[in-house]
Chain A
């Protein structure tokens, strides 16, 4: 029994002496092979797979963002629609303020009505030039601060009366629903046929309108 134990121990010692130098070498080689295999696997197999998966995840994320933005836009469109319904009864005012046609006739009638309302005697009303077709080329008399899409209709009005009434007439012309720009307002005193001195006013300005062709653009 003791002899077997000794022989076994001596065999084990010999084994350790032989193997002692080998494990590190073997482990180093296997480690190198393992690392090379991992590198090859990462480069050739794992990288394309991960890139494709990441691309798909990115597309999913982007599609979620697009859906969220479109939902937000749908809500805003609904808000805008309800807002438009609320405001639509007032929108014809814009057509009155900036009509699509020159409307020189209605403008003349408006001046006559204002003169009657103010209680002044209307001496003259000049409106023009009215563009029948095409577009009016800007001239020296036009208001250059207006947008190029806006067309202008020149007018001049002269009337006589007391200062308060003439001033009221100027205020009314300036504050009509249709947008007018007064370029010159001139008060002068003149003698009438009876030799009395009367105050008269000369009002010059432009009425604006936007032809339909410009609206379509």
Chain B
């Protein structure tokens, strides 16, 4: 009877360890998927800008005498 209890405890311990390790591996995989570094020098080329020129100053200048 003692032998059976010992086996059951061992199995429970191993299952818990397996769940912990599976969670750890899952988090590691998630982190590896999310944390990807940009290649050097790429970030400056990704900066966005507004292609529309603000021509209000030109409109005001046109309204002034030449």
Chain B: how many interface residues by the 8 Å CB criterion?
Answer: 39
What separation, in Å, do the CA atoms of A98 and B1 have in the docked complex?
99
Closest B residue, CB atoms, query A59 = B36
Across the interface, A84 reaches (CB within 8 A) one of B17, B53, B65, namely B53
Closest A residue, CB atoms, query B28 = A51
A146 at the interface (CB under 8 A from B): no
Which residues of chain B have C-beta atoms less than 8 A from A57's C-beta?
33
Residues of A within 8 A of B (CB): 24-25, 28-29, 31-32, 35-36, 38-39, 42-43, 46-47, 50-55, 57-59, 61-62, 66, 69-70, 72-73, 76-77, 79-80, 83-84, 87, 90-91, 93-94, 96-97, 172, 175-177
Closest B residue, CB atoms, query A91 = B58
Q: What DSSP secondary structure best describes chain A's contact surface?
A: helix
Across the interface, A29 reaches (CB within 8 A) one of B7, B29, B57, B66, namely B7
Answer whether A58 and B34 are a contact pair too, CB < 8 Å, given A73-B48, A90-B62, A172-B65: yes
Q: What DSSP secondary structure best describes chain B's contact surface?
A: helix
**B10 CB to nearest A CB, Å:** 5
What separation, in Å, do the CA atoms of A39 and B22 have in the docked complex?
9
Which residues of chain B have C-beta atoms less than 8 A from A69's C-beta?
46, 48
Across the interface, A51 reaches (CB within 8 A) one of B32, B58, B64, namely B32
Whether A87 contacts B28 by the Cβ 8 Å rule is no
